[in-house]
Amino acid sequence: MTLEIQNVTKIFPGPRRGFFDRGEGFTALENVSLSVQKGASFGLVGESGSGKTTLTRCILGLETLSAGSILFDGADIHKLTPLQMRRLRSRLQIVFQDPYASLDPRMTIHDIVAEPLVIHGDLVRLDARQRSERVLELLLQVGLTSAHLFRYPHEFSGGQRQRIGIARALAVRPEFLILDEPTSALDVSVQADVLNLLHRLQKELGLTYLFISHDLGVIRYICDDVAVIYRGRLIEQGPVANIFDNPQSDYTRMLLDAMPDPDPDRSPFRKAAAR
């Protein structure tokens, strides 16, 4: 599955001042174009507030576009019928930043991971027993065990919760994952383990990633290509090695300078890669 984002602009309306009067709109994305090829791991990096989550929401069809278009395998996602959109959503899953907020505290891990299998029950035809088998398979795949099945989210650490979020995203065997800062809420020591898992899953399952982060170190470990976004505009994109060795913009140089540990031998991402 390929994703093409073509000249996307998103302007949020300004605050209402009167019946016909609105304040000036806020341009969260301006003329953004990028494409993610099947099997690729594409990074989107930029600091907080630069428009990364807005782009995610546009890709998921949760926001209308002010201009431009978003195509999956050539089909414009804002022109799909509800049924086509549901099909697409089973092929395209998202892992959120905050594993606390994205898991329902009243549901067991089993039910959380099984939920997409129920929602997409018309596409993934499994009876209750097959669903439970699939849930266990998924937990093992992300490094959890059968002992975790009937526990609740609050009983888990942040890293384990993010593993649960990943298992849920993988349940319906998607081709494409959007990972919106999947490790940003985790301790650095745990980040490396979760990144390592995501890296392995991508290779094993042949997934395509759009990997969003404010941290170029994370992008370097996971991604082949990267686009740098600043205040809603892409300021450069290309192979990760080029961006690291020969950044073209001051902003990218600033992001590189802000990397938590510039010594690669001491970086947790380096350790994860060597494992």
**Does 141 interact with Mg ion (rule: CB under 5 A)?**
no
Least separation, in Å, of the C-beta of 57 and ligand ADP? 8
Least separation, in Å, of the C-beta of 126 and Mg ion? 33
**Does 184 interact with Mg ion (rule: CB under 5 A)?**
no
Which part of the chain contacts Mg ion (CB under 5 A), choosing from 31-39, 52-60, 123-131, 253-261? Answer: 52-60
Binding site for ligand ADP (CB under 6 A): 12, 26, 28, 46, 48-54
**Does 53 interact with Mg ion (rule: CB under 5 A)?**
yes
For residues 59 and 144, which CB has a smaller minimum distance to ligand ADP in the complex? 59
What's the chain look like in SS3?
CCEEEEEEEEEECCCECCCCCECCCEEEEEEEEEEECCCCEEEEECCCCCCHHHHHHHHCCCCCCCEEEEEECCEEHHHCCHHHHHHHHHHEEEECCCCCCCCCCCCCHHHHHHHHHHHCCCCCCCCHHHHHHHHHHHHHHCCCCHHHCCCCHHHCCHHHHHHHHHHHHHCCCCCEEEEECCCCCCCHHHHHHHHHHHHHHHHHHCCEEEEEECCHHHHHHHCCEEEEEECCEEEEEEEHHHHHHCCCCHHHHHHHHCCCCCCCCCCHHHHHHHC
Least separation, in Å, of the C-beta of 28 and ligand ADP? 4
Which partner in ligand ADP, Mg ion, none is near 49 (CB below 5 to 8 A by kind)? ligand ADP
Which partner in ligand ADP, Mg ion, none is near 12 (CB below 5 to 8 A by kind)? ligand ADP
For residues 159 and 232, which CB has a smaller minimum distance to ligand ADP in the complex? 232
Least separation, in Å, of the C-beta of 181 and Mg ion? 6
For residues 30 and 193, which CB has a smaller minimum distance to ligand ADP in the complex? 30
Q: Which two tokens stand for residue 170?
A: 């993988």
For residues 52 and 163, which CB has a smaller minimum distance to Mg ion in the complex? 52
Least separation, in Å, of the C-beta of 97 and Mg ion? 7
Q: How many CB atoms lie within 10 A of CB 124?
A: 17
Q: How many CB atoms lie within 10 A of CB 259?
A: 17
Least separation, in Å, of the C-beta of 251 and ligand ADP? 14
Least separation, in Å, of the C-beta of 50 and ligand ADP? 4
Which part of the chain contacts Mg ion (CB under 5 A), choosing from 44-52, 67-75, 142-150, 252-260? Answer: 44-52
Which partner in Mg ion, ligand ADP, none is near 182 (CB below 5 to 8 A by kind)? none
Rounded alpha-carbon distances, angstroms, from residue 22 to 12, 14, 16: 11, 6, 4
For residues 54 and 160, which CB has a smaller minimum distance to Mg ion in the complex? 54
Q: Which residues contact 85 (CB under 8 A, 6 or more apart)?
A: 61, 77
For residues 114 and 180, which CB has a smaller minimum distance to Mg ion in the complex? 180
Residues that bind Mg ion (CB under 5 A): 52-53
